[in-house]
Structure formats: C-alpha cells, structure tokens
Amino acid sequence: MSYTIFELDGSTEGNALLVNNVGIVGACGYLPNFLSKIYKLCLVQMSTDGEVKRDPVTNLALLAENGKAGQLLGKIASGLEFTGYTDSKSTEKKIVRDVLEKGDMWFASGDMLKQKNDESGVY
C-alpha cells in the first residue's frame, strides 16, 4: 500500500492558502507563477514586536527577501474577501493596509514562511 501526503498552510477564516499538491519535499505550499497573477500572496518582513516593517520613505511594507522568513499575507480583493470576525477589533488586527501600494488591504495570516531560494512559488 502506498500513501501520498499533501502539506498545506491556511486558516478557515482567511484568504491565504497554500497547498503542496505536487509533492515537493519539505514544502507546505506551491503557487505556480501563472496563478500568482490572480491569487495575490506575499511575505512581509516583521519586527521583533510583531509589526510589519515599512520603508521609511514610502511607508509601504518591506517584502521578505527570497529565502528569508516573512509573514504570509493574502490580498483582500473581489473573490478574495476576508469577511472578518464578529468582533471588529479582532478583524482590524488581521488587516494590513498599504502593503504594495497606498490603499491596498491584505489579510495577515500570522504564519511565518519563507520562499525557497531555488524554486519560485515554493513555500
């Protein structure tokens, strides 16, 4: 008998989900380049106090370098909604604004991941 194991990273309430359905050893998820155009995810640098690090000039989020850990964010957009919680304060804690451009909104997964150095879309 043989078994196939699939790894994943996600939450029931969030819009950022990664699945390793192609069997890449050591990966919790894979996002092919062609899907990254419509399914927007990014990894952002975090400070030791849990805040998103920001560029001092633009105040936009600093993206994690390839191979470095960052918090997984999922862009909130049509079809990729984050409806939130019954408590509005808890909902606001999970939304990061001004990540890649002024006015954008992203769901903060709370998960620290890194993109593998040698493979695009592998987390």
For the chain, 123 residues long, give each residue's pLDDT as a single digit of tens.
776 666 656 676 777 777 777 777 777 777 777 777 777 889 999 999 999 999 999 999 999 998 899 999 999 987 777 788 888 898 899 999 999 999 999 999 998 988 876 656 667
Sorted by where each begins, the domain ranges of the chain are 38-113
CATH number for region 38-113: 2.30.38
Per-residue model confidence (pLDDT) at position 50: 93
Rounded to a whole number, what is the distance in angstroms from the first to the last CA of the chain?
A: 29
Residue with tokens 């984050």: 82
Please, are residues 81 and 94 in contact by the beta-carbon 8 Å criterion? no
Q: Kind of pairing, strands 105-114 and 95-97?
A: antiparallel
Give the other-Cβ count within 10 Å of 68's Cβ.
Answer: 12
